[in-house]
Amino acid sequence: MSSIAKLLEQFLAHPFKNLAAIITAAVTSFFVVRAIYRVTFHPLVRFPGPKLRAISHLPHAFSGERGRQPYDVRELHKKYGPVVRICPNQLSFITPGSWEDIHGHAATKKLLKYGYFKVRPDAQPMLTTSGEEHSRQRSAFAHGFSQRAISEQSPTLTAHVDNLIAMLEQKVKQESVFDVGEWMRFLAFDIIGDFTLNTQFECVKNQRYHPWVALLMKWFRAVSFVTNANAFGQLAPFIMLFAPVEHLKGVKDHLDMSAQKVRERLAIGDDPTRNDLWTYLLRNKGDKALSLGEMEVNAALFIIAATEPLSDVLCGTLYFLALYPEVREKLRAELESCMGSDDALTMANTARSPYLHAVINESMRMYPPIPGGMRRKTPPQGHTISGIEIPPDTVVAVYQLAAFTLPNNFARTDQFIPERWLPADHPERPKDTLGDHQDVFQPFSVGPKNCIGKGLAYAEMKLIIARFACAFDCKVVDDGFAIDKQTAYLFRDRPPLKLEVKMRKVS
């Protein structure tokens, strides 16, 4: 009794000092006990991975902050195999079948998106919705992205590409070495501004970014910061205090400006002289019609979703064509045979070139525009992925860079071999690539939430690459674009793609 009284006396003598000591001890014990639990009794303990990653989210979050997450996850797969515990509650898969088991139709009914956040309190774009709401929005936009709608975009798309080629012809007369990547981004913005926002950004014409485009760069950084902050669960609001305010403001400005443009487009209504996304969307009436807020946030999403990945693929493909002149020659020969009586490269005839398709796919394999993973959370009853029972509430993803570039799935993985995408019975298909797990290559994802713009993206990429490859010769001048040294946040943080570009010499 007297010793308790003594302790109390000591405590009361320095109440704050002792309280701080007690809190410190309690917090430390909590972290120690939790760390021990995570490496002993946690349901994911049977999955391989570094102990530090099993204990804490910090290594993954720091890797994300450095822009090296996809590369670091690839290193982990090299060391630990096709399924790795990359965080206390997160697994990365590169197994055949994992796409279907995580993102396919049946899986989408059970697994929820994880780590996506709401951009506006009153309305969400289709990317962040689920269930009925997602299906309703997706079907409202489906006609606007149908094959027919894409074909109807041909004149607009061709005009933008003609403009680019004409501007580049002028450019190469003045200087031969320049950042081709910048031009690809100019073009991607011009096309998508026209199609989704009824806006002429005129980046190619003015040879500089529209001020709006600069905002989007801030958006990408802000989204990456929020995604990493969310990994810390209840600590996320505290971490958000350190979010770069300027970047968050970029998000808000982009939303406001997209909303303004949508309202201007809606005021025009069903204009027979225009044929853009809204031409189709406005045909949805009654229950099928979207609210104004939904239209506004989706317009903001399209600009983001359609430009960065697309210009990344264009840059990746031009980089490989510059590195591999023999591939470029072969591609030109096939494109010229596809032209036929049109005597010009069009959206229709470039769609018929299997080698062009193969070149673009091989570029996306080696240089995926979304190199990280799109996360989903397993339901309370757990879930089976690639035949493996996964516990409830586990965050799962296929990390694209690792899945597409490790020998688990592809032969001669470091080599640029477009022929691996030709049909199995094609005489030029290398025999050692017949065992490639091509179903692991899903840069547009699979299932009901895959990329709605996949058809449009291929049509754009094929026309642009075909026209560029037939008009210009190019050479890589330095190692500034070395693909493994790059960083990636939500999308790639692409360095300049400096090429020496000359008018093509036709022999």
Residue numbers in the known binding site are: 451
Stretch 399-438 residues interacting with ligand HEM (CB under 6 A):
none
Stretch 358-387 residues interacting with ligand HEM (CB under 6 A):
369-370, 374
Q: Which of 299, 456, 465, 490 binds ligand HEM (CB under 6 A)?
A: 456
127 in contact with ligand HEM (CB under 6 A)? yes
In the complex, the smallest distance separating the C-beta of residue 443 from ligand HEM, rounded to whole angstroms, is: 4
For ligand HEM, what does the binding mask look like between residues 319 and 358, x meaning CB under 6 A? ----------------------------------------
144 in contact with ligand HEM (CB under 6 A)? no
Would you list which residues are annotated within the binding site for heme?
451
CB 190 within 8 A of CB 203: yes
C-alpha distance from residue 81 to each of 283, 403, 432 (Å): 50, 11, 22
Judged by CB under 6 A, the stretch of 31-39, 62-70, 309-317, 322-330 that binds ligand HEM is 309-317
Which residues are within 8 A (CB) of 211 and not within 5 positions of it... i.e. 6 or more apart? none
CA distance 18 to 24: 10
Judged by CB under 6 A, the stretch of 5-13, 171-179, 231-239, 440-448 that binds ligand HEM is 440-448
In the complex, the smallest distance separating the C-beta of residue 402 from ligand HEM, rounded to whole angstroms, is: 15
CB 381 within 8 A of CB 77: no
Q: What is the total count of residues that contact ligand HEM (CB under 6 A)? A: 23
Give the CB-nearest residue to ligand HEM.
Answer: 453
In the complex, the smallest distance separating the C-beta of residue 496 from ligand HEM, rounded to whole angstroms, is: 20
Judged by CB under 6 A, the stretch of 32-40, 239-247, 308-316, 351-359 that binds ligand HEM is 308-316
Residue placing its CB nearer to ligand HEM in the complex, 366 or 451:
451
CB 156 within 8 A of CB 187: no
223 in contact with ligand HEM (CB under 6 A)? no
Pairing of strands 492-493, 487-488: antiparallel
Q: Which of 76, 310, 331, 497 binds ligand HEM (CB under 6 A)?
A: 310
CB 393 within 8 A of CB 44: no
Cα-atom radius of gyration of the chain, to the nearest Å?
Answer: 26
C-alpha distance from residue 90 to each of 252, 371, 483 (Å): 31, 17, 26
316 in contact with ligand HEM (CB under 6 A)? no
488 in contact with ligand HEM (CB under 6 A)? no
Q: Which of 313, 335, 396, 401 binds ligand HEM (CB under 6 A)?
A: 313
How many other C-beta atoms lie within 10 A of the C-beta of residue 68? 17
CB 424 within 8 A of CB 433: no
Q: Which of 251, 295, 345, 457 binds ligand HEM (CB under 6 A)?
A: 457
What's the angle, vertex CA 217, arms to CA 216 and CA 221, rounded to 5?
Answer: 110
In the complex, the smallest distance separating the C-beta of residue 174 from ligand HEM, rounded to whole angstroms, is: 30
Residue given tokens 């899986």 in the structure block? 107
Q: Which of 197, 452, 463, 464 binds ligand HEM (CB under 6 A)?
A: 452
CA distance 231 to 413: 32
305 in contact with ligand HEM (CB under 6 A)? yes
The burial class, CB within 10 Å (0-12 / 13-18 / 19+), for 389 is: exposed
Which residues are within 8 A (CB) of 404 and not within 5 positions of it... i.e. 6 or more apart? 364, 365, 366, 368, 410, 440, 441, 443
- Residues contributing to the site for ligand HEM (CB under 6 A): 126-127, 138, 301-302, 305-306, 309-310, 313, 369-370, 374, 443-445, 449-453, 456-457
